[in-house]
Amino acid sequence: MARRPRRGRRRRSADAPLHPHPLSRRPPRRSRGCALPSQRRRRGHRRRRAADRQRRASLGRAWGNRRGRGGVSVAHPVVRRRREERSAQLARAEQWASALASRLSVHAVVVVGSYARGDFNKWSDVDVLVVADDLPADGRRRLELLHAGAPPGLQPVGWSPGEWGERLARGDPMAREAARDGVVVHGRLPQGPATALDPDGAGDLS
């Protein structure tokens, strides 16, 4: 005897579709409070760009039209303060170089590093290269001679003219930087391969 189906349930045939209506290909609708991850990223990017524009306008910056080519106006107080700080450190180095020239036969005193390039911060030291005659051959005695009377924060390094030419020809990073970006505060660097690296000579105080 065949078993009768329970009341309230309909038996589905094998060929019947699982869903009585055709399914839509659209993704399910989401409420406005639940954005997709890509939408959240785009909204965050737009908010950051708007905040950047507002900050630039409030600081009074003059930005260029090209992307990544913008600059800060020279009249901005931050730029003025950094220029004054750099000029003060270069003046300290020049004063120390004049005192050193009274004790040694100095050819040149060049400021190198972050204060020469202009990208210094509050932890930066004033790196100074000294090219002079009659420097002690011993490294410790040479440092003691150069550090005597040096102001705080000034880090001098001494080379003889022969060592300067040898290191420059060898491609020493400090020698190349002194020839390319250095600010001469006393004397003049000896002639040599530096002219091939910097046809206009080393930097000046301007």
Residue 142 lies in a domain: yes
Same domain, 42 and 91: no
Q: Residue 74 above 50 pLDDT?
A: yes
The DSSP code sequence of 36-102 is: -HHHHHHHHHHHHHHHHHHHHHHHT----SSTT-----TTSHHHHHHHHHHHHHHHHHHHHHHHHHT
Residue 10 lies in a domain: no
Same domain, 84 and 60: no
Position of tokens 């051959």? 137
Residue 203 lies in a domain: no
CA 143 to CA 150: how far, in whole Å? 11
Average pLDDT for 25-54: 68
Specify the pLDDT at position 91.
Answer: 94
Same domain, 81 and 148: yes
pLDDT class for 108, splitting at 50, 70, 90?
Answer: very high
List the single range of 35-39, 41-45, 149-153 with lowest mean pLDDT: 35-39
Specify the pLDDT at position 63.
Answer: 42
147 compared with 4, residue with greater pLDDT: 147
DSSP reduced 3-state for 183: strand
Same domain, 60 and 145: no
pLDDT class for 24, splitting at 50, 70, 90?
Answer: low
Same domain, 106 and 60: no
Q: Residue 134 above 70 pLDDT?
A: yes
Which range of residues forms the domain containing residue 45? 35-73
Same domain, 45 and 64: yes
Same domain, 116 and 42: no
Residues contacting residue 117 through CB under 8 Å, at least 6 positions apart: 181
Residue 91 lies in a domain: yes
Position of tokens 């002194």? 178
pLDDT class for 198, splitting at 50, 70, 90?
Answer: very low
CB atoms within 10 A of CB 80: 11
Q: Residue 7 above 80 pLDDT?
A: no
Average pLDDT for 72-88: 81
Total number of domains constituting the chain: 2
The DSSP code sequence of 94-163 is: HHHHHHHHTTS-EEEEEEESHHHHT---TT--EEEEEEESS--SSHHHHHHHHHTTPPTTEEEEEE-HHH
Same domain, 53 and 88: no
Residue 83 lies in a domain: yes
Residue 127: name the closest of 101, 150, 153 by CA. 153
Domain finish residue from 58, 73, 88: 73
Specify the pLDDT at position 58.
Answer: 60
Same domain, 87 and 172: yes
Residue 28 lies in a domain: no
Domain finish residue from 73, 103, 126: 73
Residue 8 lies in a domain: no
Residue 6 lies in a domain: no
Q: What percent of the chain has pLDDT over 90?
A: 41
Specify the pLDDT at position 167.
Answer: 93
193 compared with 43, residue with greater pLDDT: 43
Domain finish residue from 45, 73, 101: 73
Average pLDDT for 16-25: 60
pLDDT class for 47, splitting at 50, 70, 90?
Answer: confident
Same domain, 181 and 96: yes
CA 64 to CA 79: how far, in whole Å? 17
Same domain, 124 and 56: no
Same domain, 147 and 99: yes
pLDDT class for 54, splitting at 50, 70, 90?
Answer: confident
Taking the alpha carbons at both ends of the chain, their separation in whole angstroms is 111
Residue 164: name the closest of 99, 87, 110, 126 by CA. 110
For residue 109, what is the domain's CATH number?
3.30.460.10
pLDDT class for 77, splitting at 50, 70, 90?
Answer: confident
